[in-house]
Amino acid sequence: MFPVVSAVLDVLYPPLCLACGLRLRAGEYLCAVCLRDAVPLPLNVGQSSAHISSLACACDATMMLVGWEYEGGGVIERCIHAMKYRRLHSAGIWLGRLLAERLLQETNPGARGILDAQAILLPVPLHRIKRIERGFNQADYLCRGISSESGLEWDSRLLLRRRYTTSQSASKLDRDERQRNVRDAFHVDRAHAASLNGRPLILVDDLVTTGATICACVDTLIAAGFTDVRILAIARPPRH
């Protein structure tokens, strides 16, 4: 969107806090008070190991970091819902930038290391039919935000979804059903993979629950010859 048009829209339709409705400056989605209500998760090696070991399926990811707890009715849930169901795509970019800012400000090498300069951001893909139905992939916007803050490349061509599956988040599938639902659902563009020379990959998604989808992605990438696959998510439910 052109800057002048964006400025006019901000005057006509001023941005409001997604949690409390307070008027905000352009480019913001939560006021300072509501942002403090978000529950940040530790960004360190110990927490990474805890995340990976608590996934419902075995996962060979080299690192996994998550920005915030996902609480029903909480401020992070409201941001994610606005991005996914109200088509507020810019909120996804903002969430990605917010997470990248936290990672880059961390002093421990475990947090900063996930965004090393050679790594490539990969949005968890949607099947082409589901993308047509929804009109977008929210993980693309998260990658755009992380990329704009960190300078990392992002790539939506390498990992593809070849089988249409029931929505993991919207369905009532149990853990085993979720794993079966995404089995063999992904594949790698081998010709494109050859051009990446085995660089580290960072899978990006908005929400990780049991981890069935993200683990299926990791398995597919490792089977294609990638040895350093990391996971980066905006949120995860507190029971984990």
Give me the residue spans of the domains in the chain. Answer: 1-37, 39-236
Residue, of 134 and 197, whose pLDDT is higher: 197
Q: What average pLDDT does range 97-116 have in this prediction? A: 86
pLDDT of residue 1 exceeding 50, the answer is no
pLDDT of residue 149 exceeding 60, the answer is yes
pLDDT of residue 44: 92
pLDDT of residue 174 exceeding 60, the answer is no
Q: What average pLDDT does range 161-167 have in this prediction? A: 66
pLDDT of residue 18 exceeding 70, the answer is yes
Q: Which pTM does this prediction carry? A: 0.86
Q: How confident is the model at residue 181 (pLDDT cuts 50, 70, 90)?
A: low
Handedness of CA 28, 32, 37, 40 (dihedral sign): positive
pLDDT of residue 177 exceeding 70, the answer is no
pLDDT of residue 179: 54
pLDDT of residue 92: 95
Tell me which of 3.30.499, 3.40.50, 3.90.1720, 1.20.140 is the CATH number of domain 39-236.
3.40.50
- For the chain, give the mean pLDDT: 86
pLDDT of residue 4: 45
Percent of the chain at pLDDT above 70?
83
pLDDT of residue 8 exceeding 70, the answer is no
